[in-house]
Amino acid sequence: MDDRLSFFKDNGYVVVHDALTATEIATVNDGIDADRAIHPEHWQMGPRVGFDAVGCDAPDLLHRTLALDGMVYHPSIWSLVRSILGEGTLCSGLTFMFRFPCDADPPEDIDGGDPLCLSRQWHREDRGNVEGAQENAYFTSAIQAIYYLDDVDEGCHCTSIIPESAVTKRSLPKTTEGDVCITGTESAYVDPEKPTWMDSFGREGPRRIGRVDVHARAGSVLVFNNASLHCATIRKTARLRRALHVRYRQPEPVRSRHALKTPCESVADFQTALPDRPGIRRV
Ligand SMILES: O=C(O)CCC(=O)C(=O)O
């Protein structure tokens, strides 16, 4: 545990391998397949740029299936999350995501030695919102846990992240009005030799260096500071990648909407909207 905490402090993320048993993985995937069969209307893809993905969010999703109940505060990461964010931390969001096979060709100018990579849209969640991060030693205002529900390697879509310590995040320039947000992300970790990259779908963005592509077996979970630069690495692949994203934060400050999704305006809103089953709703 201490090793994971110190890795998280130094890097802004940690991977917990084999966090879920084969039975837990099957429970989640089977439950989602059942929900898709009964409610196909909730799993329709909206218009996307070039590659297909679809997700469903809690609270609605948790009202339709019991299969994710054990995942809201899964014991493999819950004490880690609470050690980082402190007593009073709550789940503030949960999304199940499918990323589908993609047959587009990689651009000629490949990104960072990754021959199958089609796209990377780097971002800090909530535009780098770090409200409340100064309250803990990890400079973390919210955590996102991404559970892989399929094996992930260099031949399929993965999550990528740029290691960045709590000390660095604390020292980065921040906005001085409104919510406290890290600024200057456009130029962060940009390759000085070749600062831009055009993805397979004609979108130009910064070409970042220093990334870690998270390749791990189904049942592993990436736990990261929501303000760390990360993205989905979209690859040419015939494989599906399923993942469960769970978000955590402190309810305060109530005015900051970080780690929340519409229509929930606060952690309390999200909690109230959850089904009243043991282990899910905590307020
Ligand atoms: O799907 C992924 O691997 C990462 C998605 C992502 O960038 C996000 O949740 O903000």
Name which residue sits closest to atom 5 of ligand 1, judged by CA: 232
Question: pLDDT tens-digit profile of 165-203?
Answer: 999 999 999 999 999 999 999 999 999 999 999 999 999
Report the chain's mean pLDDT, rounded to a whole number.
96
CB atoms within 10 A of CB 247: 23
- 73-108 pLDDT, tens digit per residue, is 999 999 999 999 999 999 999 999 999 999 999 999
**What is the model's pLDDT at position 278?**
87
- 283 C-alpha to ligand 1 centroid (Å): 28
pLDDT-based confidence at 145, cuts 50/70/90?
Answer: very high
Please report the atom of ligand 1 found closest to the CA of residue 245: 9
User: What is the pLDDT, as a whole number, of residue 266?
Assistant: 98
The residue whose CA is least distant from atom 2 of ligand 1 is: 232
Per-residue pLDDT, 65: 98
- Enumerate residues 6+ apart whose C-beta is below 8 A from 169: 12, 130, 133, 139, 182, 225, 227, 228
Mean pLDDT of 5-12: 98
pLDDT at 50 over 90: no
Q: What percent of the chain is helix, strand and coil (3-state, nearest 5)?
A: 25, 25, 50
Q: Please say whether the dihedral angle defined by the alpha carbons of residues 71, 72, 75 and 78, taken in this order, is positive or negative.
A: positive
Task: Determine if the peptide bond prior to 253 is cis (ω within 30°).
Answer: yes
Q: How far is the CA of 265 from the centre of ligand 1 (A)?
A: 21
| pLDDT, position 1 | 64
What pLDDT, on the 0 to 100 scale, is given for residue 279?
Answer: 87
How far apart are the C-alpha atoms of 142 and 129, rounded to whole Å?
9
- As a whole number, mean pLDDT of residues 116-120 equals 97
The pLDDT of residue 45 is 86
Pick the atom of ligand 1 nearest to 97's CA.
1
- Among 52, 100, 146, residue to substitute to test ligand 1 (most atoms within 8 Å of Cβ): 146
- Per-residue pLDDT at 137: 97
Distance of CA 260 to the CA centre of its chain: 12
CA distance 101 to 53: 9
Q: What is the tens place of the pLDDT at every residue in 204-259?
A: 999 999 999 999 999 999 999 999 999 999 999 999 999 999 999 999 999 999 99
Q: Best of 96, 102, 159, 185 to mutate for ligand 1, by most ligand atoms within 8 A of CB?
A: 159
Structural domains in the chain plus CATH codes: 2-38+50-273 (2.60.120.620)
Residue 31 alpha carbon to ligand 1 centre in Å: 22
- Residue located nearest, by CA, to atom 1 of ligand 1: 232
Q: Which two tokens stand for residue 235?
A: 């690859």
Of 226, 219, 244, nearest to 146 by C-alpha is 244
Task: Please state, in angstroms and rounded to a whole number, the distance separating the CA atoms of residues 154 and 159.
Answer: 11
Enumerate residues lining ligand 1, CB below 6 A: 97, 125, 159, 230-232, 243, 245
- Which pLDDT score is estimated for 86? 98
